[in-house]
Amino acid sequence: MKLKEMVEMVQQHHPDMGVTEIVKMLNIAQDEYSQRTRMLEKATQFDLADGQRYYALDGAILEIKSVDMEAADGSADHVNIPKLVGRPIRRDLT
């Protein structure tokens, strides 16, 4: 269903509502649907940097499922690394 069709369906119930307002409400609906169904999945890559421990996350990421790290043996293998429960006791904010 294209945006035009979605807007028209909403306008059948709310004929006085402007397109901008309807688009905003569709976006609210999409955010909630994403959050609650966890239906959409994706993967992204970044490079490790010398001495850098933290890497900013895109706002579209709801929850990280798993993390792979490139193997050091020169192969194209990526190795799954485990999730730490909690966070390190000794702080390092780099």
The gap from C-alpha 14 to its chain's centroid, in whole angstroms, comes to 31
Whole-number Å distance between alpha carbons of 20 and 22: 5
At closest approach, how far in Å is the CB of 77 from another protein?
Answer: 8
Whole-number Å distance between alpha carbons of 70 and 79: 6
How many of the chain's residues bind another protein (CB under 8 A)?
A: 77
At closest approach, how far in Å is the CB of 59 from another protein?
Answer: 8
Phi, psi of 29 (to 5 degrees): -60, -45
- Which residues within the stretch 20-79 sit at the binding site for another protein (CB under 8 A)? 20, 22-57, 59-73, 78-79
At closest approach, how far in Å is the CB of 86 from another protein?
Answer: 7
